[in-house]
Chain A
Amino acid sequence: MRERSNIKHYWMMLIPGLFLLFVFNTYPLFGSIIAFQNYNPFKGMLHSKWVGLENFEFMFRLPDSRQILWNTVYIACLKIIAGIVFSLTFAILLNELRLRFFKRSIQTLVYIPHFLSWVILSGILIDLFSLEGMANKVVQWFGFQPIQFLGSNRLFPFLLVGSDVWKEFGFGAIVYLAALAGINPGLYEAAAIDGANRFQRIRYITLPGIVPTIVLLVTLSLGNILNAGFDQIFNMYNPVVYESSDIIDTYVYRAGLVSQQYSLATAVGLMKSLISFFLIVISNMLAKKFANYRIF
């Protein structure tokens, strides 16, 4: 009897959230059917003309589509690899520090950029890397010609990756630091007694100790391969570097909301969601297999 009345209360708790999710997630998902239409906002979803897969065919025939997909995957992969390498190195070096206070202070400082928005950071970075910016002042100081960091298709992707690493390496290290804290200190003592030096201890104890965490993060990052970072690129890029930095999300924004090709942009977005879904499922399966970890 008691349980019965509880059920009613549980549902009262659930309903607001489920309702909001339905309205702002499920319903717009079904709104994606405009990808199969020639959508006209004045006629609405019900009265727009159906065109089948035309938008998708058009998408694949677009001269830019291959470039955009390549940019997305390329930038995302570079960010993932560089992010892991730098976070891991930083975590290991920090772990070797003996002064607790110093360790704390450094941690406090390197986490700060993570909490600032890309709007703010891109404002600062664009100023730093412009032709008259501080970076070029340094370049000139060494006797070189000023460099077009923001207008060069060769350099710009690296600026994106570099600034992303700069923003996130400290924060990304937290997971590794947690894993490092879990390594049995007895191992280090035993190794020291056996005559292992610092580097051998890092090589044979620290590194193997966090391999499971590395494997886990690598497999989970697979699900993010189509997310090259909209906020950052949207705020940092300019028409000159579209060729090297236009990613799926920025393209959807420009095609959809700026040029008002609603159906095409939705088709591109839908394609991305589908591929992302499979990538997430695969990465979850791999994580379960190699690292015994489940998100769902």
Chain B
Amino acid sequence: MMTNNSFASRIFDHFNVILLSLLALLCLAPIWHTLALSFSSKSAAEAGMVFFWPVHFNFTSYTQIIEDQQFWRSFLISIIRVILGSSLNFLMTLLLAFPMSRTAKQLPFRNAVMYFLLFNMLFSPSMIPMYFTVKDLGLMDSIWALVLPSAVPIFNVMLLMNYFRNIPKEMEEAAMIDGAGPWYMMIRIFLPIAVPTVAVITLFSIVGHWNAFFDGLIYMNKVEHYPLQTYIQQLIVKIDPSKLTVEQLVKLQNVSAKTLNAAKIFISILPILILYPFLQKYFIHGIMLGSVKE
């Protein structure tokens, strides 16, 4: 960048640094506030005395969470969901993108399949028919209801397909001469070249599965089957008493204190925060690949 040391320019620089720092802090503030809340005493939290530093520092909320079986059950369900769901997303993206990156000559009916994919990308079913489909298939209260409906991310398929199509033909021919079949070619030649793109897609799919709450809410009848976000949603946003037993309701009311919720929120953010550095490294590159084509 050019240097220009006029007075106005320097004033602008200082102003800019301050403004952007404030913005960055503003993005962190609510999360920081929640963390402070989770380490504060109940009375201080209820009285609204906690801002950005814990008042009467203690670990009570966290020791209480250890005893909350539902929290850990939901945590486990979310982890299983993420592993299962994103592996499935990855597999489906690869398995569709590779054959679709062939020419119409190599794969007859390629265009018909393409129209099918486009059709399904442009039209997605609305909530009610979707609900009945899952119900009729007998998937209610099963982890499959959370991973199967979104198993094929068509947009990602298109992204990877375009990436594959730009791989030089010579590479493919060389592999063919060496005797590589389609499966070998897909896994050993094409996939390694596409690792950056696949990494971004998969990381986003992990975050998506971790953050999803709505399917858990409608497809799970029993609270024991809620993934973490659905459990937290019920806890802090609104509790639907019709779905809870009296015992669970009493339990929820006893524990739904501010500090405890803050601690649960924080624990549920933690995996994302741990994953974040890896995300950060890849996504800027990956999004630029996907969004700006020049």
Contacts and interface: CB of A to CB of B under 8 A. Distances in A.
B241 interface: no
A31 B129 contact: yes
A192 interface: yes
A132 interface: yes
B294 interface: yes
Contacts of B294: 182
Interface in A56-101: 90, 93-94, 96-98
B27 A178 contact: no
A137 B47 CA distance: 11
A287 to B, nearest CB: 11
Given A98-B13, A120-B269, A174-B288, A32 B149 contact: no
Given A110-B24, A198-B4, A17 B92 contact: yes
A257 B131 contact: yes
Contact of A266 (B28, B129, B207, B276): B129
Contacts of B149: 24
Interface string B7-34: 0110011001101110111111011011
Given A112-B27, A175-B291, A265-B128, A119 B229 contact: yes
Contacts, number: 256
A235 B31 CA distance: 17
Given A34-B129, A98-B1, A178-B291, A277 B122 contact: yes
B292 A178 contact: yes
B279 interface: yes
Contact of A13 (B23, B26, B98, B207): B98
A133 B181 contact: no
Interface stretch (B56-64, B65-73, B231-239, B244-252): B231-239
A51 interface: no
Given A117-B211, A166-B26, A270-B126, A6 B181 contact: yes
B133 A24 contact: yes
Interface residues on chain B, size class: 35 or more
A93 B18 CA distance: 11
A197 interface: yes
A92 to B, nearest CB: 10
B75 interface: no
A213 interface: yes
Nearest to A191: B2
Interface of B: 1-2, 4, 6, 8-9, 12-13, 16-17, 19-21, 23-28, 30-31, 33-34, 37, 48, 51, 92, 95-96, 98-100, 102, 106-108, 113, 116-133, 137, 148-152, 154, 157-158, 181-183, 186, 207, 210-214, 218, 229-230, 232-233, 236-237, 258, 261, 265, 268-269, 272-273, 276, 279-280, 283-284, 287-288, 291-294
26 contacts: A6-B106, A13-B182, A17-B95, A21-B117, A26-B116, A27-B133, A28-B129, A29-B124, A90-B20, A94-B20, A96-B13, A106-B23, A115-B272, A117-B229, A120-B268, A120-B269, A123-B236, A132-B48, A192-B4, A198-B4, A201-B2, A235-B233, A266-B128, A268-B126, A270-B126, A273-B126
Interface of A: 3, 6-7, 9-11, 13-14, 16-18, 20-21, 23-29, 31-32, 34, 41, 90, 93-94, 96-98, 102, 105-106, 108-113, 115-117, 119-128, 132-134, 137, 166, 170, 174-175, 178-179, 182, 188-189, 192, 197-199, 201, 213, 230-231, 234-235, 249, 252-253, 256-257, 262, 265-266, 268-270, 272-273, 277, 280-281, 293, 296
